[in-house]
């Protein structure tokens, strides 16, 4: 439960920083490009891919990207995540 809460707070903060063009560490506002560069630099995409390989899902979802880059704030990441898992399960 604590992991979900931490993920929820983190993705909400990223969405808000991007949406409201908050300056990040003196480097200007968080842009889509800055987000993608930092995500890749920190290896988040690779970590998510490794974790999802242990599940029956065929491809790692881009849930974080969807939640951070969408123009509309998703109420809960678990709802969006369940939707992706359902789509992948039906595609198999």
Overall number of domains in the chain: 1
Question: What pLDDT digit, counting tens, does each position of 72-82 carry?
Answer: 999 888 787 77
CA dist 57 and 85 (Å) reads: 7
Structure tokens at 80: 């969006």
**CA–CA dist 19, 72 (Å, integer):** 9
CATH number at residue 74: 1.20.1220.12
Q: What is the pTM assigned to this prediction? A: 0.72
Task: Give yes or no for residue 2 having a pLDDT over 80.
Answer: no
Q: Return d(Cα 42, Cα 57) in angstroms, integer.
A: 23
Neighbours of 18 (CB within 10 A): 20
- pLDDT-derived band at 57, boundaries 50, 70, 90: very low
Which residue stretches of the chain are H helix? 2-19, 32-41, 44-53, 63-69, 77-91
What would you report as the CA-atom Rg of the chain, rounded to the nearest whole angstrom?
14
Query: Which of 34-38, 42-46, 57-61, 79-83 shows the lowest per-residue confidence on average (mean pLDDT)?
Result: 57-61
Parent domain of 43: 2-91
């Amino acid at each position: 439960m604590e992991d979900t809460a931490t993920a929820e707070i983190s993705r909400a903060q990223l969405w808000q920083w991007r949406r409201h063009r908050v300056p990040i560490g003196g480097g200007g506002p968080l842009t889509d490009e800055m987000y993608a560069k930092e995500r890749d630099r920190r290896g988040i995409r690779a970590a998510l891919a490794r974790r999802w390989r242990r599940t029956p899902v065929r491809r790692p979802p881009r849930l974080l990207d969807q939640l951070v880059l969408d123009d509309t704030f998703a109420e809960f990441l678990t709802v969006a995540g369940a939707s992706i898992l359902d789509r992948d399960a039906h595609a198999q």
